[in-house]
Amino acid sequence: MTKSGLGMLATAALATASSAPAESPLPLWQGVTRIGIACLVNTDHGVDTGALRDRLCTRVRTLVAAGAPVPVDSVRIGDPAIADAHHLTLLVHASTGGTPGGRMMAISIRSYRNIEGNGQLFGAEPRVVATAASDADLDAALKVPLGQMLPWRSNGAGRLR
């Protein structure tokens, strides 16, 4: 094969490789029929089961549902839906603490699905936002990790396989 033929072959291979993720989602997403959002907020006084947790879960659920190809709902830890192989759960963990500038919340999001070969060890990069942040500021902080995790937010595909 000529040098130019090898170059064309390499270019075709790179083009195929770069388009593959958008066309074939990770096995984690294949066969998903529902997405659940489970939130845990730790504070200096223990687990928050009130307004802060509810607000965080609502914002995440709203952002995930925008363009989602399957229904999105909230679930609590222990909900039987989490064990369903067709249900993907986004585990949203926040920890609050005081700083000289005010109370802050570190947020980590990880996906969980009860299937063999789930293989997901880490989630998206954590974010930090003020606990008193506006919905717009909280959404801006959440859009980064969700964009790293959700196929329809990262490539505009809008569908799961």
The CATH number given to whatever domain includes residue 99 is 3.40.50
Q: How many domains does the chain have?
A: 1
Please provide residue 122's backbone torsions phi and psi, each rounded to the nearest 5 degrees.
-125, 155
In a domain, 3, yes or no: no
* 151 and 160 Cβ atoms separated by less than 8 Å: yes
- What is residue 83's DSSP assignment? G
In a domain, 26, yes or no: no
pLDDT digits (tens, 9 = 90+) for 70-129: 999 999 988 999 999 999 999 999 999 987 778 899 999 999 988 876 666 667 889 999
Domain residues for 64?
33-153
pTM: 0.76
